[in-house]
Structure 1
Amino acid sequence: MKTHLLASGFLYSLISCSALAQPANTATSDLAKKLTNPVASLISVPFQYNYDANIGLDKKGTSNSLVVQPVVPLKLNNNWNYIVRPVMTFESLNNVNGYSGTGAGPIVVETFFSPAASNGLIWGVGPVVSTPSLSGSNFGTSQTGVGLSAVGLVMKSPWTAGLLTYNTWSAGGSAVNGTANNLFYQPFISYVTPSAWTYSINTQSTFNWDARRAENPLNATVSKLVKIGEVPVSFQVGARYYLSSVPGGPSGWGGRASMTFIFPK
């Protein structure tokens, strides 16, 4: 019930802000298109809520999580940018294998060296590091991971399609609660309308090389870019479905909602 009320309230806020915002124009639509590019020269701070169910060996657990993922582009020179994307997850678990509580999972810091100007294919590559879970075994691995991240995409208005991926290898720590030997892959496709509505589909999949199992949530979302005062804000709602899962992981349907603050450079 609480989840349904939260989703309803978020949708109401989205509709209200859209009604109060200034009329959409080409600049707003262009900004919405830039937001679909993970290595755009654009500072953004998203706050993303996820609801997942059927967690635990008995499938009786649920999870409410908040993912904070600021994107900070740093200009190295006229030819290159360095994009930093730290991903922090705060989670509330309910009856997951008998455990209920709140905590923080591993922090993943993705980085990309990306050309400032590109024709056709936009790309970036750089190191990635993941910390051990900040709140113990119930919220992820106790291992540190290091590796390589990469992104490639094509933007042909009104479409954006691409792949963001990284692989981390264990750099120490206990493997009792799972390892940091993971391949993450996120294929994505988005369609942006002239009125700054964005329709997106992606997966945010993780394959663990030791367990030889993959978790594949498929996300379908709709978002609207508006201005609150002078600050562009994107509101998003959507659903997710687990195409496959690891033992004890979430399965079936879930929900997603987010709010992203944008600071054009």
Structure 2
Amino acid sequence: MNTRVFASSILCSLMSFSAYAQPASTSTSDLAKKLTNPVASLISVPFQYNYDANIGLDKKGTSNTLLVQPVIPLKLNNNWNYIVRPIVTFESLNNVNGFSGTGTGPIVVETFFSPNSASNGFIWGVGPIVSTPSLSGSNFGTSQTGVGLTAVGLVMKSPWTAGLLAYNTWSAGGSSVSGTANNLFYQPFVSIVTPGAWTYSLNTQSTFNWDTRRAENPLNATVSKLVKIGEVPVSFLVGARYYLSSVPGGPSGWGARASVTFLFPK
């Protein structure tokens, strides 16, 4: 599906949903704090843009990506939630080893069983994860299916949030020509939220491939502001990223990030 058509259809759905959604009376600062928790009982729909450069063996390529990654909490009972986080990546490549084009990468679905209450301020979640082969061919990711386990643990002590999200996937079949699904992903993160609903965050989103024994380590520094448009809370984010290390042919140096996140408190 064309990227613009897909994004437009999601935005239309969000506008329709916001017409009848009745958000809880919660301050923007409180909502900004919840947004730093990956397993919060909060429906959110982020649209994240990333720009990366110096891609390809000749380091002349660039990449523009759009990640659509809704967070859907499902209440199992009074004690447990089940959090579903699908991630769809649309990517536009320019002159990467002579290739230019637009396509869709693998779809990743993270899930977490998470208790409703924190124990001594510690919040956690664990569950299965699955990743599909790239939907647009080998230029946009592995052709293998991956299955595995994901987990998150964090501590929220106002105004700070600090934690680690990680998962490991193993190949469940498919060609390994364009890379394998045997990956360890780890994302340490720290955020501080001000009373004015400004959030300052630092994280890495590192991927280590068990077959190549190489890791890609982008460091992201971002600032975001949560506001209300009508009755719908929306978070706007901008930031920079720098690759501490990369895989052969992968991006290096500086990049950029921006996102808009729609929140739908219950």
What TM-score do the two structures reach when normalised by structure 2? 0.90
Alpha-carbon distance in 2 for matches of 1:104, 1:26:
36
SS class of match (1:57): coil
- Alignment match, 2:91: 91
Take 2:172 and 2:216, find their aligned partners in 1: how far apart are those partners? 22
How far does residue 118 in structure 1 lie from its aligned partner after superposition? 1.4
Match of 2:49 in 1: 49
Counterpart residue number, 1:186: 187
Letter in 1 for 2:186: Y
Distance 2:26 2:195 in 1: 7
2:102 partner SS: strand
Q: Counterpart amino acid of 1:53?
A: A
SS of the residue corresponding to residue 33 of structure 1 reads helix
User: 1:258 & 1:195 partners in 2: Cα distance?
Assistant: 19
Structure 1 spans left out of the alignment, 5+ residues: 1-24
Secondary structure of the residue aligned to 1:32 is helix
**Paired position in structure 2 for 1:161:** 162
Shift of 1:141: 0.2
Q: State the distance in 2 between where 1:28 and 1:225 align.
A: 6
| Alignment partner of 1:231 is 2:218 | no
- Residue 251 of structure 2: SS of its match in structure 1? coil
Question: Which deviations, in whole Å up to 9, do the C-alpha atoms of 1:171-205 show, x marking residues without a partner?
Answer: 00000110000000000000000000000000000
C-alpha distance in structure 2 between counterparts of 1:241 and 1:28, whole Å: 30
Shift of 1:27: 1.4
Counterpart in the other structure of 1:60: 60
1:26 touches 1:194 (CA, 8 Å); kept in 2? no
- Secondary structure of the 2:27 match is helix
Q: Percent of aligned positions with the same letter in both sequences?
A: 88
Q: 1-side partners of 2:67 and 2:251: how far apart?
A: 17
Deviation digits for residues 123-154 of structure 1 (CA, Å, limit 9, x no counterpart)? 00000000000000000000000000000000
Partner of 1:72: 72
CA contact (8 A) 1:131 1:143 kept: yes
Instruction: Provide the C-alpha distance between the structure 2 equivalents of 1:218 and 1:152, rounded to a whole number of angstroms.
Output: 20
Unpaired runs of 5+ residues, structure 2, are: 1-24
TM-fit CA distance, 1:26: 7.4
Q: State the 1:28 CA deviation.
A: 1.1
CA offset at residue 216 of structure 1?
Answer: 0.2
Mapped partners of 1:82, 1:172: distance in 2: 27
* Alignment pair present for 1:125 and 2:126: yes
2-side partners of 1:26 and 1:135: how far apart? 41
User: Residue 152 of structure 1 corresponds to which residue in structure 2?
Assistant: 153
Counterpart code for 1:247: P
Structure 2 counterpart of 1:49, one-letter code: Y
Distance in 1 of aligned mates of 2:27 and 2:90: 34
CA deviation vs aligned residue, 1:145-174 (integer Å, no higher than 9, x gap): 000000000000000000000000000000
**How many residues align structurally?**
241
Partner amino acid for 2:57? L
Aligned match of 1:10: none
**What SS does the aligned partner of 1:31 have?**
helix
What is the identity, as a one-letter code, of the residue corresponding to 1:33?
Answer: K
After the TM superposition, which segments of 4 or more aligned residues of structure 1 sit over 2 Å from their partners? none
Taking the aligned partners of 1:26 and 1:231, their CA distance within structure 2 comes to 11
8 Å Cα contact 1:67/1:88 also seen in 2 = yes
What is the match of residue 251 of structure 1? Answer: 252
- State the one-letter code of the partner of 1:32: A
Instruction: Output the amino acid matched with 2:68.
Output: V
1:114 aligns with 2:114: yes
Task: Report the counterpart of residue 17 of structure 2 in structure 1.
Answer: none
How does 1:8-23 map onto structure 2 within 5 Å?
none
Give the whole-Å Cα distance in 2 for the aligned partners of 1:185 and 1:107.
18
- Worse-matched range after superposition: 111-120 or 162-171: 111-120
Q: Does 1:240 align with 2:241?
A: yes
Partner of 2:28: 28
Decide whether the 8 Å contact of 1:54 with 1:250 is kept in 2: yes
CA RMSD of aligned residues (A): 0.9
